[in-house]
A and B are shown apart, each in its own frame.
Chain A
Amino acid sequence: MSTIRSTGPLREIRDRFGFWRRSYAMMAKEFIQLRRDRVSFAMIVAIPVMQLLLFGYAINTTPHHLPTAVLLQEDSDLARSVLKALENTAYFHFIYEVHDVDDFDNLLKSGKVLFGVEIPRGFERAVRRGDKPALLVAADATDPVAASSALGSLGMIVQTALQHDLYIGDPPALPFEIRAHARYNPAAESRLNIVPGLVGTILTMTMLIFTALSVTREIERGTMESLLSMPITPIEVMIGKIVPYILVGFIQAFLIVNIGVFLFGVPVLGNLLLLAVLSTLFIAANLAIGYTFSTIAQNQLQAIQMSFMFFLPSILLSGFMFPFAGMPAWAQYVGECLPLTHYIRIVRAIMLKGATMPNLRFDTLALAALMLVAMTIAVTRFRRTLD
Chain B
Amino acid sequence: MNGGNDIAIDVKGLTKSFGGREVVHDLSMQVKRGSIYGFLGPNGSGKTTTIRILCGLLTPDSGEGTCLGYDILKDSEKIKRRVGYMTQRFSLYQDLSVRENLEFVARLYGLADARGAARDMIRRLGLSGREEQLAGELSGGWKQRLALGACTLPNPQLLLLDEPTAGVDPKARRDFWNEIHALAADGLTVLVSTHYMDEAERCHEIAYIAYGHLLARGTVDEVIAKSALATYTVTGELSGLAAELAGKPGVDMVAPFGTSLHVSGRDVAALEASIAPWRDKSGLHWQKSAPSLEDVFIELMGRSRDNFQ
A8 CA to B104 CA in the complex, in Å? 21
A229 CA to B56 CA in the complex, in Å? 7
Q: How far is the CB of B262 from chain A (nearest CB, A)?
A: 37
| B28: interface (CB < 8 Å) | no
A230 CA to B80 CA in the complex, in Å? 6
> Chain A residues near B152 (CB, 8 Å)?
2, 4-6
Q: How far is the CB of A21 from chain B (nearest CB, A)?
A: 6
A306 CA to B178 CA in the complex, in Å? 49
| B185: interface (CB < 8 Å) | yes
Give the residue name and chain of the B residue nearest to A37 (CB). Answer: B95
A243 CA to B93 CA in the complex, in Å? 19
Q: How far is the CB of B170 from chain A (nearest CB, A)?
A: 20
Using known A-B contacts A14-B112, A223-B91, A225-B91, determine if residue A4 contacts B121 with beta carbons closer than 8 Å: yes
Give the residue name and chain of the A residue nearest to B85 (CB). Answer: A229
1/0 per residue, CB under 8 A from A, across B216-243: the answer is 0000000000000000000000000000
Q: How far is the CB of B269 from chain A (nearest CB, A)?
A: 49
Identify which of A6, A32, A33, A223 contacts B153 (C-beta below 8 A): A6
| A168: interface (CB < 8 Å) | no
Give the residue name and chain of the A residue nearest to B184 (CB). Answer: A2
A28 CA to B93 CA in the complex, in Å? 13
> Chain A residues near B112 (CB, 8 Å)?
11, 14
1/0 per residue, CB under 8 A from B, across A211-249: the answer is 000000000011101101111100000000000000000
Does the CB pair A32–B100 fall under 8 Å? yes
Give the residue name and chain of the A residue nearest to B107 (CB). Answer: A25
Identify which of A14, A226, A228, A229 contacts B110 (C-beta below 8 A): A14
1/0 per residue, CB under 8 A from B, across A361-387: the answer is 000000000000000000000000111
Does the CB pair B107–A223 fall under 8 Å? no
Using known A-B contacts A1-B185, A5-B182, A229-B57, determine if residue A11 contacts B91 with beta carbons closer than 8 Å: no
| A110: interface (CB < 8 Å) | no
Does the CB pair A13–B57 fall under 8 Å? no
Identify which of B87, B110, B120 contacts A22 (C-beta below 8 A): B110
> Chain B residues near A225 (CB, 8 Å)?
57, 87, 89, 91
Does the CB pair B182–A222 fall under 8 Å? no
> Chain B residues near A2 (CB, 8 Å)?
152, 179, 182-183, 185-186
A15 CA to B56 CA in the complex, in Å? 21
| A39: interface (CB < 8 Å) | no
| B133: interface (CB < 8 Å) | no
1/0 per residue, CB under 8 A from B, across A1-40: the answer is 1111110111101110010011011101100110011000
Does the CB pair A6–B120 fall under 8 Å? yes
1/0 per residue, CB under 8 A from A, across B105-123: the answer is 1011111101001001100
Using known A-B contacts A13-B81, A230-B108, A230-B109, determine if residue A1 contacts B155 with beta carbons closer than 8 Å: no
Does the CB pair B154–A222 fall under 8 Å? no
A24 CA to B108 CA in the complex, in Å? 9
Identify which of A10, A25, A36, A386 contacts B108 (C-beta below 8 A): A25
| B201: interface (CB < 8 Å) | no
Q: How far is the CB of B33 from chain A (nearest CB, A)?
A: 14
Does the CB pair A21–B107 fall under 8 Å? yes
Give the residue name and chain of the B residue nearest to A2 (CB). Answer: B182
Size class of the B contact interface (CB-based, 8 Å): 35 or more
Using known A-B contacts A4-B148, A229-B55, determine if residue A36 contacts B105 with beta carbons closer than 8 Å: no
The main secondary structure of chain A at its interface with chain B is loop
Does the CB pair B124–A4 fall under 8 Å? yes
A18 CA to B185 CA in the complex, in Å? 32
> Chain A residues near B155 (CB, 8 Å)?
5-6, 8-11
A41-72 residues with Cβ-Cβ distance < 8 A to B are none
> Chain A residues near B89 (CB, 8 Å)?
222, 225
> Chain B residues near A385 (CB, 8 Å)?
56-59
Q: How far is the CB of B145 from chain A (nearest CB, A)?
A: 8
| B92: interface (CB < 8 Å) | yes
| B188: interface (CB < 8 Å) | yes
Does the CB pair A15–B110 fall under 8 Å? yes
> Chain A residues near B117 (CB, 8 Å)?
6
Residue of B104, B110, B183 ringed by the most chain A CB atoms within 10 A: B110
> Chain A residues near B86 (CB, 8 Å)?
226
Identify which of B90, B108, B120, B134 contacts A222 (C-beta below 8 A): B90
| B52: interface (CB < 8 Å) | yes
List 12 extra interface pairs beyond A2-B179, A5-B183, A33-B95, CB under 8 A.
A1-B185, A6-B120, A14-B110, A15-B110, A22-B107, A25-B107, A36-B134, A222-B89, A222-B91, A230-B80, A230-B108, A232-B108
11 cross-chain CB contacts under 8 A: A5-B152, A8-B155, A10-B157, A21-B110, A28-B107, A32-B95, A33-B93, A36-B134, A222-B89, A225-B87, A228-B57
Q: Which residues of B contact A (CB under 8 A)?
A: 52, 55-59, 77, 80-83, 85-87, 89-96, 100, 103-105, 107-112, 114, 117, 120-121, 124-125, 134, 145, 148-149, 152-155, 157, 179, 182-183, 185-186, 188
Pairs of residues from A and B, 8 with the lowest C-beta to C-beta distance, nearest first? A25-B107, A2-B182, A226-B91, A6-B155, A229-B85, A222-B89, A2-B183, A4-B124
